[in-house]
Amino acid sequence: MDVTAEAKQIMIQALGKMYSSRTQRGGLRLHRSLLLTLVMKSARDIYHSARLQSENKAQCDNPSVTDNTSQTEEPMDTSSKVSEVSSVETQCTDDVHEHDQHLLSPAETIVDKENCNPTRQDRHSRKRRSKTATEPDFLPCKKAKLNSGEVRGILQTSQNNPANCGRRLDSFSLVHMPRAIVSF
Amino acid sequence: MSEHVSAHVSTLCEDICPTDIISTVEFNSTGELLATGDKGGRVVVFQREQESKNQPHRRGEYNVYSTFQSHEPEFDYLKSLEIEEKINKIRWLPQQNAAYFLLSTNDWKVFPDPNITPTDSSLPCWHSSPCPDKTVKLWKISERDKRPEGYNLKDEEGRIRDPSTITALRVPVMTPMDLMVDATPRRIFSNAHTYHINSISVNSDYETYMSTDDLRINLWNLEITNQSFNIVDIKPANMEELTEVITAAEFHPNQCNILVYSSSKGSIRLCDMRESALCDNHSKLFEEPEDPSNRSFFSEIISSISDVKFSHSGRYLMTRDYLTVKVWDVNMENKPLETYQVHDYLRSKLCSLYENDCIFDKFECVWNGTDSVLMTGSYNNFFRMFDRNTKRDVTLEASRENSKPRAILKPRKVCVGGKRRKDEISVDSLDFSKKILHTAWHPSENIIAVAATNNLYIFQDKVN
């Protein structure tokens, strides 16, 4: 579990860095935010495949489990996200354990940890909006500081727009970062 | 390579004031002047002393010539955004008359203003607007060693005389005075950048220059401040699709239609402005496939290019990413000609470097005058030189203890494992807060300027 622990740690730190860069002098640094997003994605992918590997090992005699969960993936995700959002930052490690079982990708057969993209199926089923899409360049700082109430509100809004759900997972929105952690 | 210390400029205060941190260093085209910019928005220009027969030991030392405030901290009220005054880049213009011109930019602004007329005051005159535009500044640095005396309408102290007391006319005469060096802003190039400016590059036509931010490159005429042409735009229609940003750009040293820009993905694109007005489609793409055995969580971060420089000949490109310096042949796109490891011992430490943010540090790299030696900085106030011909490399340290005047710099070595020898330093003892990001090499001589936090070190090669 070393790889998964490291991946988790990296993701948590990336989140922290992104939040703190909002309050930095000079405004949001696009380059740095992009790199942090890529690290998050990398860590998440590696975490996924590592978890999948261990899950596969544990469930090698029960392959049908994965089919059911993939279909119910999306609604389960959003409901679980809403319930967890208020304690995201302090409980993200718990969330990771609790929710990763919902994210098994049935099509995932690649074992290569480093270079695979295990969540490609997920990308088509869940919308992740880039942080840079949710706000125009360099919004006033006051908008950037999200409290749990705001995050809840945003998540509820996106829940009400099912059309928004389910597509690209290329990059993260800072708004949705908590969700990214929660959903593992 | 032995390096003989010839001058060392000291700090303003012992504790490091954050505004004193040097953020850019640049020699002018003759090497006579050396400019530094700092985080506080100040520019300090050093001038090389004329060599004199009377004092041969003071072989061309650099002394302070002019100091001025280039950029002020500003606040963009519309976006509630504080704009950093830190000078990101300084580029000298080629000298055409007695005055010197340089371009300076902070994250947002590149400077000078034609409506401001210079006064007799030695203070630089510029205008900072309450709603700051994003501008680049052109500064004129000129000397005055004479002033007019003997006005008719005002007395020696400048007070207006009562016209009825004037009974005779006299012609004011220019009388010598102590040399004063004025820096005046001459142009302000405004409103061109939405994102942080990372580079400026003067074209070899001496008429245009380009300014580069994360997503766009704009071309300016040095005389025209109210318009610029966008020549590269990599902003995707949907910002969700953003996968790379521009990290640096430079014009070819003698072909005024060629420019290169580097990206956060580790690739370099060469563009020819003759091909089309918008150079979004590159003429050449320099990219090396990633080594899968080196893949890690941080592969994307460490492959991001922090600096790109043409060789003086224009035949080669040098790029710096987090762990290496690479030399590319302009005629070969699929892989670099040479790769030099700057501090490969950090590869196993990437996780902690990510934690303390050092992995995001942007190191610059420079060529020597003959394109035979490369130089770049590292941590612990170390900087590295690579000789392309002999394939030898050396690690040197810029620190007060090791840099007494006339002393010869001793090569340093980092111990990567096993037994540490007496003079070696172990990787875990490296001070990551002491980083050398900015260095400069004299255009024709072996004189280098190394910025170590808030200290500037100038080293010269020993000549007997």
The CB-side HSE value for A46 (13 A sphere, CA atoms) comes to 24
- For residue A84, give Cα distances in angstroms to A79, A91, B63: 9, 8, 62
Instruction: From the options 3.40.50.10490, 2.130.10.10, 3.40.50.300, 1.10.10.10, give the CATH code of B5-114+191-461.
Output: 2.130.10.10
Stronger pLDDT, B172 or A107, i.e. the higher one: B172
Q: What pLDDT score does B20 carry?
A: 85
Q: What pLDDT score does A182 carry?
A: 31
- CB contact (8 A) between residue B238 and residue A7: no
Average pLDDT over all residues of chain A? 55
Tell me which residue in B80, B242, B297 faces A34 most closely, judged by beta carbons.
Answer: B242
Is residue B414 within 8 A of residue B345, CB to CB? The reply is yes
Sole residue written with tokens 């208020």: A86
ipTM of the complex: 0.82
Interface test with B, best of A4, A25, A31 (most B CBs within 10 A): A31
Q: What pLDDT score does A19 carry?
A: 86
Q: Which residue, B307, B351, B347, B57, is CA-closest to B198?
A: B307
Give residue limits of the domains in chain A.
3-58
DSSP A58-72: HTTT-TTHHHHHHHT
Q: What pLDDT score does B64 carry?
A: 92
Chain A with chain B: Cβ pairs closer than 8 A: 96
C-alpha span between B9 and B5 (Å, rounded): 11
Mean pLDDT by 10 residues, chain B (464 residues): 46 59 95 93 91 66 91 69 79 90 79 35 29 69 90 84 87 90 90 87 95 95 92 93 95 96 96 89 93 88 97 97 97 96 95 95 97 97 96 93 78 84 89 96 95 92 62
- How far apart are the CA of B358 and the nearest CA of chain A, in angstroms? 12
Is residue B19 within 8 A of residue B40, CB to CB? The reply is yes
Q: What pLDDT score does B193 carry?
A: 85
- How far apart are the CA of B319 and the nearest CA of chain A, in angstroms? 17
Highest mean predicted confidence (pLDDT) among A19-28, A116-125, B146-155: B146-155
Is residue B68 within 8 A of residue B139, CB to CB? The reply is yes
Q: What pLDDT score does B377 carry?
A: 97
A99 has a pLDDT exceeding 50: no
Q: What pLDDT score does B463 carry?
A: 56
Is residue A109 within 8 A of residue A42, CB to CB? The reply is no
The strand order across the sheet containing B246-251 reads B246-251, B258-263, B268-272, B284-286
- CB contact (8 A) between residue A6 and residue B195: no
Q: What pLDDT score does B235 carry?
A: 94
Q: What pLDDT score does B438 carry?
A: 97
- CB contact (8 A) between residue A115 and residue B245: no
Q: Which residue, B146, B213, B148, is CA-closest to B179?
A: B146
